[in-house]
Amino acid sequence: MLQAVFMMGSLGLIIGVVLAAASKIFYVYVDPLVEAVDDALPGANCGGCGLPGCAANAEAIVAGTAAPDSCVAGSDELADQIAQLLGVSVEAKEPDIAKPGCTYGVNDAEIKYLYSGINDCRAADLLFSGMKICNIGCLGLGTCVRACLFGALKIGENGLPVVDEALCTGCGNCEKACPKGIINLSSVTRRIIREYTINNCTTPCQRACPAGINIKDYIAHIADGNYNEAVQVIKERNPFPSIIGRICPRPCEDECRRKHADEPVAINFLKRFAADYEKENQRVIPFKAPDTNRKIAVIGGGVEGLSTAFFSARLGHSPVVYEASPVLGGLLRTAIAKNRLPSEILDWDIAGIIETGVLTETNKRLGEDITITSLFKNGFQSVFLATGGWDSRLVQNRAGRPNNAVSGLMLLIDLLKEPSKIKCGKKVVISDSGKLTLDAVKSCKKLGAKNITVIFKESENSSSLNKDEIDLVKTEGASIVFEKTITKISGKNDNITSIKYTNLTADTTCKNIDTDTVIFSSGRIPELIFSLEKTDESKPSETENGHVLWEAVSPSKKPVDQQQTGFFAKDDSLSDFDAAIKAISAGRRAAATIHQLMYGISIEPQDNLITENTVIQNVYELENIKQIPREIMPLSTFSQIAEGAEIEKGFTEDMAKKEAGRCLKCGLICYKQS
């Protein structure tokens, strides 16, 4: 008996030791924060968050890859509860809605697809690339419908997916299931931030438009008599529809497929018609994201600055535009004849921007009335500099007055033309000064500079300076670095403290240089986004006894230049933008970059962006198109123009509908035969 008890006790002891060891070996640590968030979630495991269950969502929330309010089955109170667990706050969030992006379904398309009995889009894509010719069109097999967990999708009569917005939770399961990227999540924020890729079914006119306006859609609305909807589409990417409808150089019309049959559609005149209809009836306010209560200062009330503010307001932020002159509008106000762009038209479009939630203050000059430091101390989270170039200063009769918007930032032309008016520091960096390098170095030394660094993007062999000129610059005591470019400027209060430059060769190492003066050889100070410098904890820093520490970077470049590094792209204009529509596009990209920087979103160059150099499928010959003459813009008489009338009168409603009817409603390589 005692032996049996002893054996059982020994066996229990051995098992206990083994289990204790196993618990150490196979122990799985559970983050108590993840556990707390998981306990707070409803446990529905519905997949509406786009993740496989509440446990996965809890891990994503704690990791920062999902928001505290990502649970579609939870309430606002649940989001606040989770935010409190994380020690953060919840901002209002706009809903994501699935949106199809194809023009024709398989029933209507001229190009038919070969499926060989396959009934899943992904399988068809893998087997045949899903197409006969078009590699973007919807396959129409309904894989996205089967992937939707909430019954928000169905295949419509035209063979394309139809979304019930009331049921869509924005979980993204349909987007993940579609092998062609036909259906994607859409929101105001996504539409502002995105650039078009070769996976989007864009039209030739849209690809040619610097602003990327969905031209086909607004023309279709005009054809149907839905003029307010047309304006809404235009304002998705253009806050100045009345102005651009009058002065745009119309690159879209050069690429209109209708030209292969008779004449391009009068795209810009139709834009003007829709904008004039809005002006004569009721203001159309474009869709906006919920308020974020984040303040953004925009310096410069020209086209780019106002566009940046417009798109920032639509992203939910609170922008304030500071303009040095008494009126807004920049070069549009002074450089265009009134019979082409009347002041009342300019005022109307600017008033529309203000109505989206943009505040403006005129007669406020950066460096005199306001400073970077004062703006940050007044609660702004970002400051955008869009002060224009030399042509803007000529208009303001300030050609002989250096741009002192930011102390220490100056132009080479000011240094060489008006050296007596320049305040040059002891440590100077000169960027891409070319043949004027020696003159610039000598001028800086006369003004008291002790340490001068010249930075060139070119290699020494391809530089505009020959060996003798380089030796002369070095003899003056300056150092030269080649194949480098400035990527960041840092400062303390209202002074520059350093710049960071990046190596443009395969070795992309960065280096900081202490400096108090940066001189640009361009015709303008680059557009710069100022943010409070981040601490090691990635939180904005306002330390060192109340001093403001900031850093400035450039906005994202246009798609054709996305792979270039530094403040200026190779083909950037040396002065202001050569067309207002290009400045609008730059303003949208600036607003997108500001948004991403504020939220810590990584800004990486996108792949497969559509540019004017992109080779994609297209149509160069049309069949079975009935020839229809283009509507001719009515013009004012000489006497009417002399009395102040506009040169072009604008389309009548009948003319606009007839012209809109000429649109072929193109897709990538499809079009509607008339």
Same domain as 181, residue 37:
no
CA 97 to chain centroid: 20
Q: Which residue has the higher pLDDT, 14 or 377?
A: 377
Give one DSSP letter per residue of 336-368, joined into a string: S-TTTS-HHHHHHHHHHHHHTT-EEE-S--BTT
- The residue-averaged pLDDT of 526-532 equals 94
Same domain as 150, residue 60:
no
Distance between CA atoms of residues 312 and 589, nearest Å = 10
Q: Which H/E stretch holds residue 409?
A: strand 409-411
Q: Which H/E stretch holds residue 453?
A: strand 451-455
Cα torsion angle, 51, 57, 61, 64, sign: negative
pLDDT for the residue 65: 64
Q: Which residue has the higher pLDDT, 226 or 38?
A: 226
In-domain check, residue 283: no
Where helices occur in 521-623 by DSSP H, the ranges are 580-598
In-domain check, residue 407: yes
Domain of residue 378, CATH code:
3.50.50.60
The domain of 60 spans 12-86
pLDDT for the residue 244: 97
Q: Which residue has the higher pLDDT, 569 or 85?
A: 569
For residue range 281-318, what is the model confidence (pLDDT) as tens digits?
999 999 999 999 999 999 999 999 999 999 999 999 99
State both tokens at 46: 């519905």
Beta-strand relationship, 484-492 and 479-481: unpaired
Same domain as 148, residue 68:
no
Same domain as 48, residue 17:
yes
Q: What angle do CA 385, 458, 388 make, to 5 degrees?
A: 20
In-domain check, residue 197: no
Domain of residue 79, CATH code:
1.10.15.40
Calculate Rg over the CA atoms of the chain.
30
Domain boundary among 598, 614, 641: 598
In-domain check, residue 302: no
pTM beyond 0.75: the answer is: yes
Domain of residue 121, CATH code:
3.30.70.20
Bridge partner residues of 549 (DSSP): 492
pLDDT for the residue 103: 77
Same domain as 61, residue 33:
yes
pLDDT for the residue 198: 84
DSSP classification of residue 26: S
For residue range 380-410, what is the model confidence (pLDDT) as tens digits?
999 999 987 766 666 666 656 666 788 899 9
pLDDT for the residue 645: 93
pLDDT for the residue 543: 47
For residue range 316-367, what is the model confidence (pLDDT) as tens digits?
999 999 999 999 999 899 889 999 999 999 999 999 999 999 999 999 999 9
Give the pLDDT band of residue 547 (cuts 50, 70, 90).
confident
State both tokens at 359: 């505040």
In-domain check, residue 522: yes
- Residues in CB range of 274: below 8 A, 6 or more apart: 218, 221, 222, 227, 230, 231, 234, 241, 245, 656
Domain boundary among 598, 632, 658: 598
Please report, rounded to a whole number, the percentage of residues in the chain having pLDDT higher than 70.
84
Distance between CA atoms of residues 58 and 496, nearest Å = 43
Same domain as 148, residue 24:
no
Same domain as 31, residue 113:
no
Same domain as 47, residue 158:
no
Domain boundary among 59, 86, 113: 86
8 A C-beta contact, residue 482 and residue 564 = no
Same domain as 510, residue 381:
yes
In-domain check, residue 251: no
Same domain as 479, residue 449:
yes
Give one DSSP letter per residue of 40-66, joined into a string: HS------TTSSSSHHHHHHHHHHTSS
Number of domains in the chain: 3
In-domain check, residue 26: yes
Give the pLDDT band of residue 8 (cuts 50, 70, 90).
low
In-domain check, residue 638: no
For residue range 82-112, what is the model confidence (pLDDT) as tens digits?
766 666 566 666 778 888 888 777 677 666 6
Q: Which residue has the higher pLDDT, 106 or 240?
A: 240
For residue range 609-657, what is the model confidence (pLDDT) as tens digits?
888 788 887 888 888 899 999 999 999 999 999 999 999 999 999 999 9
Same domain as 459, residue 575:
yes
The amino acid sitting at 87 is: G
pLDDT higher than threshold 80 for residue 570: no
Give the pLDDT band of residue 207 (cuts 50, 70, 90).
very high
Long-range CB contact pairs, 411-419, < 8 A, 24+: 411/519, 411/520, 411/521, 411/522, 411/523, 411/524, 411/525, 412/436, 412/440, 412/519, 412/520, 412/521, 413/523, 415/440, 415/443, 415/444, 415/519, 416/440, 416/443, 419/443, 419/446, 419/447
pLDDT higher than threshold 70 for residue 161: yes
Please report, rounded to a whole number, the percentage of residues in the chain having pLDDT higher than 90.
54
